Each structure stands twice: as structure tokens, then as C-alpha cells.
Amino acid sequence: MIPPVFLLVCTTLVSLVIASDPVIKLRDAASEVLDSPSIWAVYPASLSASSHIMHAVGELWKGIHSVGYWDESTANVPASWSSTGNTVLVFGGDDKQTPVTRLDLSAGTQTDQEIYQKMMEAMDNAMHRTLQGRGEKQNHQSHQQQTHQQQSKRKTKKDAVIKMDASNFDSLVMQNPAVVAVAFTAPWCGHCHRLEPEWREAAEILAKDDVVFGWVDATVETQLAAQYQVQGYPTIKIFPGGAKSKPYDYPAERSAAAIVEFLLEEVERSGVPKPVPELHLGPSQLQEACSGSNHLCVLAALPHILDSGATGRENYLQSLSKVARTFRKNFSFLWFEGGSTQADLEQALGLTFGFPALVAISLDRQGLAVMHGAFRETNVHTFLHGITTGRQPVLPLKVQGADLPVATTTPWDGKDGRPVEEEDDFDLEAFLNDEM
């Protein structure tokens, strides 16, 4: 009798093999392929002679495009599929009733290398067909950009330390989910003057880590000083992240290094999420976010809003925020809408295989690494860990970081996208007849 434990181990191993199979057994052709926004290559199960090539293609495109096969048990197989014989059908774009490419893989007519190359070309053609179908989406983006053009002006770099008083304290501190550090000072205080450059340096270091640094003249803001029991100068109060309650006194040294170390620990204790800003302000925003020695910048190209909808985009951003929280130190994160107004940037970064996509760049070392695989939190973690440990291959940037073609675009309004309706042609003859 076979031991139950042995059966359990075997069952588990079989499940893992099935789960990792790059070629999908289709259960319902209509829902999985025809109604899907993804690019698909499908073939009949009878095409067994070339199945190893299809597995190689599926492994390469795993998590990006899909490869599958159907048999007699597959539901809703179109009649046109059943007569394909030894043909692979490649579908792309929004209309999948007609395949982009039909590849005849009859045995003996071509080598494995030739078949593989043709499959790669077919999948590439399908990708271009999908991108071409976004002309309507380009119109949508252009319409939004014209409407909100004035909102796209470049943002000047702000002082990392914020002067606080009674008029802005509540909004900047009490209503702010970030970690906030406030220094209560006096103009005549020598220790305050010595603290100021250290405070400013720490603020500049943590400017990308969502830590807010405040500076209060307690001799003017006497009510604020009394409210927070300030009895000497300088007094540094730490307001933990999340819902604000009673602050506590900063307990460490007043050097920039000690302040940075302590506040990063507070960020981790507070569990403060790391918002991922949209890249829409042009080259200056990229330079500001990604500059610095040994600093890596992660750029996420998310699907078009007409593809993902607002809910889908929020889910992507939440996942990115969780990853960004883990990789706070020496990493910056930005996102932009793929397949839209940042086409030149996508080309420069090698993001030509569909969206979502992720790339990490170093402006300091002029290098980049592109993530290949499914856009999941675990995969992004593995990818970024691979970079930090040297296991992830890094390629040189095609252009200098300062010359990366970043477009100035209209920021996302947080809503679902609406295709721009084309106006009917103006009928001049009908207009003149009405006037007469």
C-alpha cells in the first residue's frame, strides 16, 4: 500500500507543475480568448509535433501574453477554429473574431528555429495591432490634455523644511497621514541655530520618503507652543504616521544622520504607505525623483485607463505602494500611463511588450533593468531584490538620463476614462437650406 504522505507529496508536485505550465488548457474559448484584452496564440491539441515550441514561446511570454490549446472538451470553440488543422491562430487588438496571423505548422515543412521565429514575429504583430487600436484612447488623452493644459506647468523645487504656524498646522500635521517632525525654536536660541542646518539636511535626504519637517517660531506661535508643552528650545515633537494623536519628544542626537535614522525607523513602526506619484510634469520631475548617488528609480507603465478602469488602476497603485514601502531606502517610484503620451520614453526604456510593465533605472550609473514576467507584488519584490544583490542583469541606458524623452502630460483625475466621441460631419447644404 502506498503511504498517504507519499501520495500527498506527489499530488502537490503535480499541482505545482500544472500551475507553472506556460501553455494553458482552454476551458472556454469565448471567455478566455475572444473576450480577453490580452494577446493570445492558440492551437489545437492535435498539433503535438510542435508543442515543445509552443511551450518555449509560452515560457518567454509568460505573464505578458498568453499561449493556449483547445481540444474536444473546450467549450465555445468557434467553427473557424475547428478547421484550422495544423495552424496556430494569433489574436490581438480589441476585435478577436479574426486572427491577426495564421501560422501553418505542418510537419516537415520548416525547422523548429523557423517556426519559433515566425511565432515571435506573429506575437509582435499582434502587439502592434493592439497598440494601433488605441488611436481612440490617444484622442481621449489629447482632449484631456487640452482641457487641463495649465495644470501641467513644471513644479519648482520646494523648501524641504516647512514653516508652520497656527494657520497651517492642522492641515500639515494633524490631517497628514505621513510621519511629521516639528522643531519648536526661538530666534535667539544658539542650539536652534546649530540644529537648523542638520534639520534641513535631514529633510532633504528624506524628501522622497514622505516625512514632513516643520519649523515653528515658538516665540510667535505661543499658543501652539503651550498646546504641545514646549518648555525649552529647541523642542522636537514627533507625530507618528496615520491618524494623529499625542506626539512624543524626539529622543536621539540632533545630527542629520541620527535624525534620518530615527525617522526612517518611525516610518516603519507607523506602517506609513508610500504613495507612488504620477510622472506627468516632464523631465524635471524625473530628474528630481531619480537623481542621487546609488539611487534607483522604478518606473511603472500602467495600462490605459480605458483598459483597466479606475478600480483596476487603483489596485495597481496600491500594489506599487506596498512594494515602495518595503524599498524606501535608495528607491524612488513613479508611474505613467502606458501606450499613451509617453511613447518616446517607453521606446527609450525598452518597454515595447505591453502593459503593465516595470523598469528600474539609475541616472547615476546610466543603467536600466526591465522586469519580465507577471506584474505581481512578489515578482516585483524578487526583481528589485535581484538588482540590489547583483543577480538581476543591468543594461546601459540607450540615451543619457538627462536626455530621456519625458513628456509633460495631464495628470489622471482619478476617474474612469471616457472615449472621445467624434463629431458628425457638418452638412453645409442642409444648413443653407434651413436658413432659406
Q: What is the phi-psi region of residue 417: left when phi exceeds 0, alpha when psi lies from -120 to 50, beta otherwise?
A: beta
- Asked if 53 and 115 count as a contact pair (C-beta separation under 8 A), the reply is yes
The pLDDT assigned to 21 comes to 75
Q: Would you give the end-to-end CA distance of the chain in angstroms?
A: 98
Instruction: Give the pLDDT of residue 254.
Output: 95
pLDDT for the residue 239 = 95
* Residue spans per domain, the chain: 5-76+83-130, 161-270, 283-396
Q: Torsions phi, psi of 336, nearest 5?
A: -150, 165
pLDDT digits (tens, 9 = 90+) for 424-434: 555 656 656 66
Q: What are the residue ranges in the chain where pLDDT is below 50?
A: 1-2, 4-19, 136, 140, 143, 146-157
- Asked if 161-270 and 283-396 have one fold, the answer is yes
Q: Are 341 and 323 in contact (CB under 8 A)?
A: no
Q: What is the pLDDT, as a whole number, of residue 238?
A: 96
The whole-number pLDDT of residue 279 equals 94
| 283-396: CATH architecture | 3-Layer(aba) Sandwich (3.40)
Contact (CB, 8 A) for 408 and 152:
yes
Answer CATH for 161-270 from 3.40.30.10, 3.10.310.30, 3.30.420.140, 3.40.50.620: 3.40.30.10
Q: What is the per-residue pLDDT across 58-96, written as a single tens digit (0 to 9) for each?
A: 877 776 788 999 888 988 888 888 665 678 888 887 777
Rounded to whole angstroms, how far apart are CA atoms 211 and 417?
33
Per-residue confidence (pLDDT) for residue 407, from 0 to 100 = 92
Instruction: Give the per-residue pLDDT at 421.
Output: 63
